[in-house]
Amino acid sequence: MTLQRDPDAARDLLMLLVVGPLEQSRVDGDYTPFIVVQVFWNGIVNGPLTEGNGNYLKYIKPLLDITAPLNFVVAQVPLSIAAATLTTDYRQAPNSRYHVHSMSMPQFPDDSFIDMYANELEGRMHANSGVLYSSLQLQAYGGTGAGSQYNRNVGANAFPTRDTMLHIDDWLYFEDADEELVRDRVNNIREVTTKYWKVKGSADNSFMTTTTSLPSDAYNKEVKRWKDLEEYFPSKEWLNKLVGVKRIVDEDDLFHSVLTIPVSKKKRTKSKSKKKRTKSKSKKESKKTKSKAR
């Protein structure tokens, strides 16, 4: 956190910290958690990061000096393949399911938040927690000072959380019998952390957030879908603006899923009324045909 808060590195430094079992271990049933740190340096402001230079000594060497059971790997890669290099094909343990929730925080968390989550992670290791294992992922999208490139693009598109400093994805894996226990655990985490991520104008949900407090079939009903979608945007006006764009580029809702922006209710009603008129017309034609036959 200290490195990521440095305003001089806000645009150059991107860090991802993951707490959870390693890939092959979890597939084999070993859920021992590790702390894995990925660091990406783009050098837009401060120039390249090479072994021994000032950037390396200030931002990378402190990490390398930490005693760890596994070695750090430092490599230079072209920007065009950086994302693929840092991407993991995540394989979960056989017969496991998961709940995932996320939070975007407009400030870096204080020590009380860190202590609370450390206690939460320790509690998940107990046999009666219902959690097989978890993957807690912390990524600093924003930065202090002038901010990261992420912060600087505020208002450039419809993505609402440009004031984010830290984003957290929290995956909890479990077996079928423990689904309710883990669901309640997620709800509790979100309740006790609300003050850190719930701010005026923030979206309550992201596409990564499991709806743990509503019946799953609620999302399959169109009347519910509109209400639920509002929770993914800072305001109704924000959603309505996107609906307007959707009607221009895809008014027939050809590209449709539970995550895509819908067309307006008025458009759907109009479409249904056309079908009814067509059906009514076909009935009249059928009666005329029978009459002629007689």
Q: How far is CA 34 from CA 121, 135, 136, in A?
A: 12, 10, 11
CATH number where 22 lies? 3.40.462.20
Whether 172 is in a domain gets the answer yes
- The mean of the pLDDT values for the chain is 79
Residues 178 and 244 in one domain: no
Residues 183 and 264 in one domain: no
Residues 174 and 275 in one domain: no
> For 203-255, what is each residue's pLDDT tens digit?
666 666 665 544 445 444 544 566 667 777 777 888 888 889 999 999 998 98
How many domains, the chain?
2
The more confidently predicted of residues 264 and 92 is: 92
Residue 136 has pLDDT above 90, yes or no: yes
- Indicate the pTM of the whole model: 0.74
> For 46-76, what is each residue's pLDDT tens digit?
998 888 889 889 988 888 888 777 667 777 8
Residue span of the structural domain in which 275 resides: 236-293
Residue 269 has pLDDT above 50, yes or no: no
144 vs 108: CA distance, rounded Å: 9
Residues 166 and 285 in one domain: no
Residues 177 and 256 in one domain: no
Determine phi and psi for 82, rounding to 5 degrees: -60, -45
Whether 187 is in a domain gets the answer yes
Whether 218 is in a domain gets the answer no
Domain-ending residue, one of 179, 198, 213: 213
Residues 96 and 164 in one domain: yes
Whether 224 is in a domain gets the answer no
Residues 49 and 156 in one domain: yes
Residues 187 and 278 in one domain: no
200 vs 22: CA distance, rounded Å: 37
Domain-ending residue, one of 178, 213, 248: 213
pLDDT at residue 94, rounded to an integer: 82
Whether 180 is in a domain gets the answer yes
Residues 6 and 120 in one domain: yes
User: In terms of DSSP bridges, do strands 166-174 and 133-139 run parallel, antiparallel, or are they unpaired?
Assistant: antiparallel
Whether 221 is in a domain gets the answer no
pLDDT at residue 212, rounded to an integer: 55
pLDDT at residue 248, rounded to an integer: 93
9 vs 59: CA distance, rounded Å: 9
Residue 285 has pLDDT above 60, yes or no: no
Residues 67 and 208 in one domain: yes
Residues 125 and 260 in one domain: no
Residues 33 and 151 in one domain: yes
